[in-house]
Chain A
Amino acid sequence: MALNLLVVDDSEIVRAVIEKTLHLSGLEIGELHNAANGKEAIEILESRWIDLVLSDINMPVMGGLAMIQQMQQSDILKTIPVIVVSTEGSMKRIEQLKAQGVCAYIRKPFTPEQVRDVVENVIGQAGLEPQD
């Protein structure tokens, strides 16, 4: 089953690098959407079926934390796994994010292998892998 993914970051370059990495990772990707902030991301989440979100935290208009908190208020959106991709280094902040439902964390700057490995791990844990 091909996965529908959403990449959320105010940096177009970061979005491009993550998207390129996902395409090269060998994952079966269906639709790959992107958003420049949490507000755009919520609009996409409410109109499209998304299997996994990769999101930055520090963004204009609506940051990643506010987006995650809004997702948690929806019975459907709160089931979507979220991976945070951020420059954040505080263990306390990372624990706060995980308490809000974030599945995993990738610190910038990242290697393509890090993105691939974390995404594969989250997909496996969420039961999103294709069934034989």
Chain B
Amino acid sequence: MDIDPVSMLKQVFMEVLEDYAFMFGDPLQEDSPLQASNSYVHITMEFNGPFCGRLTMAAPKQFGSQVAANVLGLEVDDHEAEKGAMDALKELLNVTCGHLLTSVAGDEPVFDLTVPEVSAISNSEWEAVPDAVALLVEEWPVFLSLTLKTEGNGSECPL
């Protein structure tokens, strides 16, 4: 694989975020101003094709409300935006995954994608995930992790 999937993940996510939710992200720095959040949502989906793996996102639920509000053209405190927070985040990950696979593998290979699901990983477990992409989206921290399974031995290969 000539393309670095992790670098591509950051680029693809930023592009999808802009096109889907009209939001812009930057790399998360140590001194980045953050919106406080009591709970993070962890969403996971898997893909199978010429190569297989898992894409995971962690973000505050309030970030999901903002995404839903932007997509639906509502105020962030609108009940429909709050209700659609999880849905918006799942769809954001779904679209990111599809575009990431095309960017990495080209437009010929066929991949089967699972439906995004909310996963049970805790915040402390997440912090232990190596090579997670950390972004700041309008003062919301968003973390992404791409894990590829190497062919043949079935072992996971975090990037």
Contacts and interface: CB of A to CB of B under 8 A. Distances in A.
Contacts of A58: 94, 113-115
A109 B90 contact: no
Interface bracket on B: 20 to 34
Contact of B108 (A13, A60, A91): A91
Interface in B99-117: 99, 101-102, 107-111, 113-115
B2 to A, nearest CB: 18
A15 to B, nearest CB: 10
Interface in A33-73: 58-60
A76 B38 CA distance: 52
Given A13-B71, A13-B91, A87 B99 contact: yes
B130 interface: no
A13 B95 CA distance: 13
Nearest to B109: A90
Contact of B20 (A12, A59, A91, A109): A109
> What is the predominant secondary structure among interface residues of chain B facing chain A?
helix
Contacts of A88: 98
A23 interface: no
A115 B111 CA distance: 24
Contact of B115 (A59, A86, A96): A59
B90 to A, nearest CB: 7
A87 B97 contact: yes
Interface string B72-101: 100000000000100110110011011101
Interface of A: 10-14, 16-17, 58-60, 86-93, 96, 108-109
10 contacts: A17-B71, A17-B72, A58-B94, A87-B113, A89-B98, A89-B101, A89-B102, A89-B107, A92-B110, A108-B91
Given A17-B72, A58-B115, A90-B111, 13 more contacts: A10-B115, A11-B90, A13-B71, A13-B72, A14-B91, A88-B98, A90-B109, A90-B110, A91-B108, A92-B110, A108-B98, A109-B19, A109-B95
